[in-house]
Amino acid sequence: MLFSFTCRGLLLAGTLLLTAGSFSHPVRASGDVPGGTFSPALTCGPPRSDATVRHRLQAYFRSWEGVSYQWGGDSRRGTDCSAFIRGLFKAQFHIRLPRTSTEQKRQGQAVAREALKTGDLVFFRTSATTRHVGVYAGGGMFMHASGSRGVTLSRLDNPYWVAHYEAARRLPLS
């Protein structure tokens, strides 16, 4: 509980400082503060550890590997890509993602393909109306629920995925 108290304390201190500072330096509509930039987002918790993230991904993957693909499915009897990712992030990181890959693509911050970190969401445009999602597992691999192979690991440099790669997003993992 000490950690929770620390986060609350940081939020309270930040609010008080912003309030006190606003009397002499008004904040412009753009969010700029004289002498610096105001960022309303505060991340509490230990810094992201790729080893910890990788361990959590592997544990979840082992329990789902081989589960067949079923469009609209969200159980071990069959799952689609967005339900698999949604379940993974809820179980391993306590992050609630929206149900569809299109909605999931609106979460987090954009990441360049060259800057991928373990745990980043990767998105593919597989047709004009269809989007596919997976999670980067490190080493050039990503895990996802494949229409042909079920829950599996695939290489990002596979020509099919290279041709259909669309974007990546990073969520605050702890």
- Considering the entire predicted model, what is its pTM? 0.73
Active-site position among 25, 44, 55, 81: 81
Same domain, 85 and 27: no
Is residue 162 one of the residues assigned to a domain?
yes
Same domain, 140 and 79: yes
Average pLDDT, integer, range 143-151: 96
Nearest residue to 146 via CA among 157, 129, 133, 158: 133
Same domain, 83 and 56: yes
Is residue 44 one of the residues assigned to a domain?
no
Catalytic residue check, 25: no
Same domain, 67 and 17: no
Is residue 43 one of the residues assigned to a domain?
no
Spatial separation of the C-alpha atoms in residues 126 and 161, rounded to whole Å = 9
Buried b (16+ CB within 10 A) or exposed e, 97-110: beeebeebbeebee
For residue 17, give its domain range. 2-37
- The answer to whether residue 64 scores a pLDDT higher than 60 is yes
Q: In sequence order, which residues have a C-beta less than 8 Å from that of residue 34 and are 6 or more positions away? A: 25
pLDDT tens string 41-59? 334 445 568 899 999 999 9
Catalytic residue check, 132: yes
CATH for 121:
3.90.1720.10
Is residue 12 one of the residues assigned to a domain?
yes
- The answer to whether residue 10 scores a pLDDT higher than 70 is no
Active-site position among 7, 25, 94, 132: 132
Is residue 143 one of the residues assigned to a domain?
yes
Catalytic residue check, 7: no
Same domain, 77 and 108: yes
Same domain, 95 and 160: yes
